[in-house]
Amino acid sequence: MSKVETIGPERAAELIEQGAVLIDIRESNEYARENIPGARHHALSQIDARHPARPGDTVLIYHCKSGARTRINAGRLAGASGDCEVYLLGGGIEAWKRAGLACRRAVSSAVCPHSSARSAITHS
């Protein structure tokens, strides 16, 4: 298994523009509250049951909230990624937001608190 490199949000954004796939390993409820537009959701709890790499994927960038889960599970993520080149987004979605990159957040309706959530894309 090759070494997994941790990269910053700006480098991750460059790789994504070149075709890399960003994978959010947070659980479903976390992803529903806030996510990076275009990120593929694949919860860490499902990594062993179902591999995140899809046909045609060559570069995968994993992220969580702060970077801790991806860092702790780097070997496991790399092992589940087949022949793909693997990176970790250092600082997770929090670093992505600090870099001013787009993030989609669930916004509940202030008029009708029981309505379903809707999305809003923000640039922090």
Alpha carbon dihedral 74, 28, 48, 52, in 10-degree steps, equals: -70
More confident residue, 93 or 108: 93
103 in active site: no
pTM equals 0.85
Report the distance separating Cα 110 and Cα 124, nearest Å.
Answer: 21
Q: Which residues contact 75 (CB under 8 A, 6 or more apart)?
A: 1, 4
Report the distance separating Cα 59 and Cα 35, nearest Å.
Answer: 20
Query: Which domains are present in the chain?
Result: 5-99 (3.40.250.10)
* Tens digit of each residue's pLDDT (9 = 90 or more) over 51-96: 999 999 999 999 999 999 999 999 999 999 999 999 999 999 999 9
Residue 25 C-beta-side C-alpha neighbours within 13 Å: 32
Strand ranges for 37-109 from DSSP E? 40-41, 59-63, 85-89, 102-107
pLDDT, residue 120, reads 56
